[in-house]
Amino acid sequence: MLSKTTTLDQHEIPGEPRSAVVRYYSLGALTELEADFRAAIHSGPPCAVGVSIELAPVGTRIQTLALATRDKVFCLLLPQSPSPAQCKTLRELFSNILYLAGFEFSHIIVLLSHTFGSNVTGYDLSTLALSKHRETATPGGFLNTKNPSVNARRINERWDGDTVRRGETSSGIPEPDYALRAWFTAMYVTLLYRYSIPIHFPH
């Protein structure tokens, strides 16, 4: 069953969609998610999919899986580990993704692969713009190296959970919006083409 629908807005990344619809699905509505997601990625030219995950408070279980195109975000809520049948559906869902990308992607794919028991392949954007000290790039820093007009700090604030803007109500501990992370990631891949960053996708 579809839990809820919300909207995300952004003004930080120029030339990209200003908003995206976020749909949340329970594990019981996995087939509905797969159908909606398949329709979204097949409705136009091949598109990149951004991925982000939230871990459960304890252990290594994935609690939220967010997959996004440039204007749609699909969030799967996983209160418990998926059943073998649900894992099969998730494997099929991932097999439909042509270009999967994420930040700190090496962490994400290990957890995805372990959870779904499948081969997962994609691109780590955080290693595409290594600093001179070989540090991985922050999302804001990455985009600012390609487009100096982009406010790197503001993007990083939103990526971390906007603790600064929440001011008095913030504990200083970030509470990231994983839907926003997946959405920003999907938009970044489009920007990779725009700024002619060499990236070779599999055929």
Partner 1 sequence: MALTDIRLDQELSTEFIDVPVRFHPVSPCCSVNPSLFPLQMLRSFVDLASRAIRLDLSKSRVYENDFAGVHMHRDGSITVHNARYKSRIRASHQVRHT
- Contact between 172 and partner 1 by CB under 8 A: the answer reads yes
Q: Which is nearer to partner 1, 40 or 177 (CB)?
A: 177
User: At 180, which amino acid appears?
Assistant: L
| Half-sphere exposure in the Cβ direction for 185 (13 Å, CA) | 31
Nearest distance, CB of residue 95 and partner 1, angstroms: 13
Nearest distance, CB of residue 134 and partner 1, angstroms: 7
- Contact between 13 and partner 1 by CB under 8 A: the answer reads no
Structure tokens at 13: 């990344």
Nearest distance, CB of residue 74 and partner 1, angstroms: 21
Q: Which of 4, 45, 80, 149 binds partner 1 (CB under 8 A)?
A: 149
- In angstroms, the CA 181 to CA 186 distance is 9
Longest CA–CA separation in the chain, Å: 50
- Contact between 136 and partner 1 by CB under 8 A: the answer reads yes
Structure tokens at 158: 């939103």
- In angstroms, the CA 178 to CA 33 distance is 17
Contacts of 77 (CB under 8 A, 6+ apart): 3, 24, 25, 26, 27, 63, 64
Tell me which residues in 69-108 interact with partner 1 (CB under 8 A): 104-108
- Contact between 120 and partner 1 by CB under 8 A: the answer reads yes
- In angstroms, the CA 7 to CA 75 distance is 12
| Segment (H or E) for 107 | helix 105-116
Nearest distance, CB of residue 120 and partner 1, angstroms: 5
- Contact between 127 and partner 1 by CB under 8 A: the answer reads yes
Q: Which is nearer to partner 1, 29 or 143 (CB)?
A: 143
Kindly list the residues in this chain that would bind partner 1 in the complex (CB under 8 A): 55, 59-60, 104-114, 117-125, 127-128, 134, 136, 140-141, 144, 148-154, 157, 160-161, 163-164, 170-174, 176, 199-200, 202
